[in-house]
Each structure stands twice: as C-alpha cells, then as structure tokens.
Structure 1
Amino acid sequence: MDSSACAFPETHVVLFPFMSKGHTVPILDLARLLIGRCRGTAVTIFTTPANRAFISDSLSDVVTAPSVVELPFPSHIAGVPAGVESTDKLPSMSHFLPFVTATKLMRPSFEEALGRLNNVSFIVSDLFLGWTVESASKLGIPRLVFDGMSNYARTVCQVVGENSLLAGPQSNDELFTVTYFPWIRLTRNDFDEPFNLPDPTGPHLDFIIEQIIANSRSYCHIANSFYELEPLYVDYWNRHCEPKVWCIGPWCLVEPQRLGLEAQSKKPKWLQWLDQKAASGKSVLYVAFGTQAEISSQQLREIAIGLEKSEANFLWVVRKGGSGSDVEDGFEERVKERGMVVREWVDQRKVLSHDSVKGFLSHCGWNSVVESICAKVPVLAWPMMAEQHLNARMVTEDIRVGLRMETADGSARGFVKWEAVEKMVRELMEGEGGKEVRRNAEALGGAAAEAMAEGGSSWEAWDRLFDEIGAARADSC
C-alpha cells in the first residue's frame, strides 16, 4: 500500500491488544497499516513479557518496526495458572474470567509507561481492556475501541438486548425475529451463557456490562471490516448507538514488507504439501477451529470419520494439548495420500490464499471469516463459542458466502455426526450449493480489495477519522 501524508504531524499511536492470538493478530495488521499509510508515524505496542516474542516475530517484516513496551502480568492470581499470559495457553475457557479480570492490575504499570511517551495521538485498546479508558482520560488521550467483532454481531447483540428478545422464546431452539431486521431469525442457542438465560446474572455478565460502559465513554469503535460487507448494520449502529463505528479494514489485506526473509527460510511441511496438491490439480479443504475451541474426543472422532469418507483432500489443524487435541491411531496413515493433520501453528492467511485451497471448515471467528472473504474461499460454518454463532448466521444467511454444518438434532449447538460432515464437505467442495457460495465469496473478496485500495471506502474512512481526531486535538490545545 502506498504511503500518504498524515492527517496531522508527528503521529504517535499506542496499540494495546488483549492477550489472545485472535485479538492480537489483527492489531498487528493495524500497526502495519498505520506505518504504511503515514510516513513518520510512530507506533508503540503494549504487551506482557511472554507475548513479546510473538509480536516481534510477527512484525519482523516491518522496516520501521514499532516499539514494544512490556508490562508485567499479575502473578499468583487464583484461577490463572502460573506463567500463563495468553488465553490460548489456558487449560480451558473456564479460566477466562479470572484471567481477563487480572489485567486490571496492570493499570498502574500501564499509566506509568504511557506517561513517559511523547505526543500520543490516540490509543487503540481491546474491548476486554475497558479499564484503559480511565487511563486514557486521565492523560487526555482519545481511546479507540477494538472489539474484534462484525458489525452484524455487534448490532444484533445491541438490538436483542435492548428489546429483551431472549426472554420470549419458550425453548432454546425456538426461532425469534430480530426487531428492525425481520429477515434475521435467531434462537437462544445463538448466544452463550449467561446471555441466553431469561434473567441473566453473574460475574460474567457483570464483566461484560463493565466493558460496555467503558466503551460508551470511548472516542469510537474501529472495525476490521469494510462498509460494503455490512452496510445496514453499520448505518443502524451509527444512527442509534454510541460511540460511532468506523470500518477501516480488512487489515489482513495490508501487504507485508518484503525483506527477503521468506526466500531464506525453508517452507514448512504443510506448505510443501499444499504445493504438491496444487501441482497435481487437487482442491483442498482447510479445517481449523481456532486456538480456543474445546472439542470432545467423541466429536473429534466423528470429524475424522466424516473427512475420511468424504474423499476430499484436506489440511486439518488440531489444537495442540488440551481436550480434543488428537485423532485416533491409524487415521493419518489411512488418509495420508489426501489428508494432512497439523499440530503446530500455521499461517492461516497463507493457507487460505494458496491456489489449492477451495473451502474452509471453520468455527467462524471474525478473523477467520474476514480472511476467508479476502482469499475468496467459501466457508463451511461450524460455530463453537462467543459470537461465532452470530457470525455463522451472517456468513450463511446474510452475505451467503458459506454453508452451515448440520447437527444431529437441528440445534445450533447440537452434536455433529460423521454423516453430516461427509455430506456437507462434499456439498461445499463439489455441490451446487458450494458453487453458489464460492461465486459470492469471489465477489465480496473483490469488494474487500477495492475498499482497502486508495480511494476505497476503508481508505477514505481512515483519512476522515485521522482528520477528526487531529481537529479535536488542535481544538484542545
């Protein structure tokens, strides 16, 4: 992406991602965008000691690398294993609440380090770090919120909550219509506990309310999305909700700065395998459920059987360690000619952009949805947690770039049998339904590239946001 002059001089931006790979990766792409778009922009990233290596390695391609400031992560926290500083290292997501609550103890260190920086223009911090709004306000710095969600999911959650729609259905699987968006029909099972309860209470709800209040006091939301993808939901939010949301993505389209490092490094085995499939004209299904999904051994066996019987070529990334981390003995030997199981980190964007990859069996985390759209790869949606069920609704029913995995009982959270895996993999890779969603993904992928190009909607939104913040800073001086 070509550089352009900043909307205001001597720009210094602080980025503070939540300590989770899915939240950190897009913020690092944002760092590339800031450095690439504005000559002379200084970027400082706050993190913890155990997360620094991942950040530094991820930005090793950036010529003008951001500064990285380490803040000590609180120790001896009940419910947080010693040495764990990222949610993908937690034994299970039952430890999430004590982990995220512990970050509040980082505030004194954050404010001390922030106070030593010069001319900070604004802070971008994660939804789960709502306490940073107090720090930013104390130092007179605008705080921009990044929540890692689609505008569809954010808006639907707002409307469902305001209208108490989850209190109406008699069962968890009864469909209800979303106020103002009558084409959207959801169930309680599209929401996690405690939000899917008629009268939700508890510490998890208290934490989310706390973040909503903090966000309402922030300067704006920034979304890793583009206006043309979800215009109705962006427009509704900006007419009826606060603070305003700006679509300035997808950030995964920001090109890395080539330093010749790729040519010097050996291709990982999974990439060599994909190259072989492309050379022989084979289409590949990419299978990945993120770093935090907990899949039972029984469900894992059904996935394996379904993939084997589908006769599709597949690259399957399984979570290393924890529940659902391995497949039965003999499986890999039986499918070795057309399937590969990977237990290490893979560059998902490199996988999705590979010539051989024609489908993505995904949990529908927003990063994965955006990356699949940008790569023009259709999705087989199998949501697991958080707002992934809403993203799956959007993918399959709204923008129609994917098919939905079928559950045994028809419920959004039901068990999936191998027969459904086989059927839906075949449909995505070979069927008429797969061809239709592939065409839609192709069109939206082109629209994403146009949005991020000079003169596109995201490019211009970024310029307007910079102008607005710059004018506010000038008025306050």
Structure 2
Amino acid sequence: MTHKPQALVSSPTEPFLVPGLPDLRITIADLGPPFDVPEPAGPHWDFVCESCSSMYSSRGIIANSFSELESVYIDLWNRDFDIKTFGDRGKVVEGFINQLGVLGHKSVKGFFTHCGWNSVLESITMGVPILAFPMAAEQKLNAKFVVDVIHMGLRVWPKEDAGKESDGLVVSGDVQALARELIFGEEGRRAAARASELSVSSRKTMEVGGSSYENLAKMVQEVSETNANGG
C-alpha cells in the first residue's frame, strides 16, 4: 500500500507496472475505489488498512484458489510476506439458481459473468470459458486475470467514444459478436481448451496429495502444534 504507481500515469487507460509483481500491467480503469486514486481515504480505505493489519498478524490465510492457477503470485506472496502455505433455445431463471450445476451441464459452452471470484472459480472447475463483463469491486482485476493471465476468456468493453469507463456504454451488438466468437471462433476454441486444462488441475488439487489438500493439512497441523505449545 506504500507504492503509488497510479500517480505516475496521465490517463485512466495508461498501463503501469504493479511493484513486486512480474509483468503485471494494469490501469486505473481496472481498479475500483479506494485504489483508483493516489491518496485514498475514507471508511472503505480504513477498513482495507485494518484488514491488512489483521492479516499480517495472523497465523495464516485460507484463500479460495489453487496453486496451479496462480502459482507465480502465490510463490511471491509466500516469499515476500513469509506466510506459510499449507424457451426452446434458452431460459431465464429469476432468483437463486444452482450456478455450479448449470455450468456443469453439457450444453453450456460459455459463461457471461461479472467476474466475481466465486463465479470465476466455478467456471474454471467446470471447464467453461468466460465472457467477462466486470461491474464493481475487484471484478475488473478478476476479468483481467481471466483474459490476460490464464487466457480462458474474452472481455466486453464499453465504446471508446463513450467517455470514462464508468460512464461508458456497451451495445448489444458487441456482446453478441463476442459471444459468437467465444462459442464458435478461434479465440473461443483456445479459451475453451485452456478452461478444460484448468478444470483438470482444479479437481486434482483437491484430491489427496493435491496442492490445496496438502496446503490446508499443513496449515491445520501448524496451528495445532502452535496451540499445543502454548503459542
């Protein structure tokens, strides 16, 4: 939180490197409040600072991810922070649905999503490529991760002439074209192949001997030993 690379750019769409993370370039437009200004303040920022302080003083963190998905960043975290890892054609459903069950249906070939992290992981687990349409919070960064880092999706963007991204418009024709590309196009085929690979990895990581299984077991063991020793 001490670095302020966003203060060095001249526009919301100019990329900048994130200090400490290899080859990760983002823009101010990718960030939501309070991180989209050089000098954040207010209740939201106070909550972030308090959360980070609690995190650094804790015995460990359980993250909803898996090592094979973002091993570069997990390794950096553990190294730098010294935290041990251990109709007949469609249907509209109102209200809550079993999203994981829907994504697992054989007829589903793509997921048009706001890119909340749970939705991203469910899509990965089911091997379904993503059409990313981020709305708020960290969803823009999740969308960037899906499209630019793990390469298992496409992204919807507002029109360039619509002003700032927060005020931009996305037209239905663009969504239709991207949906067709995701399902039928070459980019979509590559995204689907990548999603299939990650699906296999995500399932193996939860099996006995998998990275998530072993990391959680190690964490439980370490906390148990610490408590037993009066730590």
State how far apart, in whole Å, the 2-side matches of 1:474 and 1:198 are: 45
**Who is 2:204 aligned against?**
450
Could you say if the C-alpha distance between residues 162 and 241 of structure 1 is closer, same or farther in structure 2, counting changes exceeding 3 Å?
Answer: farther
Decide which of 18, 23, 27 is 1:183's aligned counterpart. 23
- Contiguous gaps of at least 5 residues in structure 2: none
Q: Give the C-alpha shift of residue 180 in structure 1.
A: 3.7
**Who is 2:51 aligned against?**
211
1:233 has 2:73 as partner? yes
Could you say if the C-alpha distance between residues 224 and 182 of structure 1 is closer, same or farther in structure 2, counting changes exceeding 3 Å?
Answer: closer
1:473 has 2:224 as partner? no
SS in 2 for 1:361: strand
Q: Give the C-alpha shift of residue 365 in structure 1.
A: 0.6
State how far apart, in whole Å, the 2-side matches of 1:453 and 1:194 are: 38
Contact 1:359/1:377, CA 8 A, preserved across alignment: yes
Corresponding residue pairs, total: 228
1:426 has 2:177 as partner? no
Contact 1:406/1:416, CA 8 A, preserved across alignment: yes
| Higher RCO (C-alpha 8 Å, min separation 6) | 2
Could you say if the C-alpha distance between residues 245 and 403 of structure 1 is closer, same or farther in structure 2, counting changes exceeding 3 Å?
Answer: farther
1:357 has 2:108 as partner? yes
Could you say if the C-alpha distance between residues 162 and 239 of structure 1 is closer, same or farther in structure 2, counting changes exceeding 3 Å?
Answer: farther
SS in 2 for 1:428: helix
State how far apart, in whole Å, the 2-side matches of 1:207 and 1:470 are: 29
Contact 1:365/1:388, CA 8 A, preserved across alignment: yes
Contact 2:114/2:135, CA 8 A, preserved across alignment: yes
What amino acid is aligned across from residue 343 of structure 1 in structure 2? E
**Who is 2:131 aligned against?**
380
Q: TM-score by structure 2 length?
A: 0.92
What amino acid is aligned across from residue 135 of structure 2 in structure 1? M
State how far apart, in whole Å, the 1-side matches of 2:221 and 2:165 are: 44
Q: Give the C-alpha shift of residue 239 in structure 1.
A: 1.2
State how far apart, in whole Å, the 2-side matches of 1:389 and 1:166 are: 16
- Contiguous gaps of at least 5 residues in structure 1: 1-160, 248-335
Q: TM-score by structure 1 length?
A: 0.46
**Who is 2:62 aligned against?**
222
Q: Give the C-alpha shift of residue 457 in structure 1.
A: 1.0
SS in 2 for 1:393: helix
Q: Give the C-alpha shift of residue 190 in structure 1.
A: 1.1
Larger Rg: 1
CA RMSD of aligned residues (A): 1.8
1:345 has 2:101 as partner? no
Spell out the pairing of 1:14-163 with structure 2 (5 A cutoff): 161-163=1-3
Q: Give the C-alpha shift of residue 246 in structure 1.
A: 3.5
SS in 2 for 1:421: helix
1:368 has 2:119 as partner? yes
State how far apart, in whole Å, the 1-side matches of 2:203 and 2:165 are: 32
Q: Give the C-alpha shift of residue 355 in structure 1.
A: 1.1
**Who is 1:324 aligned against?**
none
Q: Give the C-alpha shift of residue 182 in structure 1.
A: 4.8
**Structure richer in strand, relative to its length:** 1
What are the Cα deviations for residues 26-52 of structure 1, in whole angstroms up to 9, with x where unaligned? xxxxxxxxxxxxxxxxxxxxxxxxxxx
1:192 has 2:32 as partner? yes
Could you say if the C-alpha distance between residues 193 and 463 of structure 1 is closer, same or farther in structure 2, counting changes exceeding 3 Å?
Answer: closer
Contact 1:376/1:438, CA 8 A, preserved across alignment: yes
Contact 1:190/1:390, CA 8 A, preserved across alignment: yes
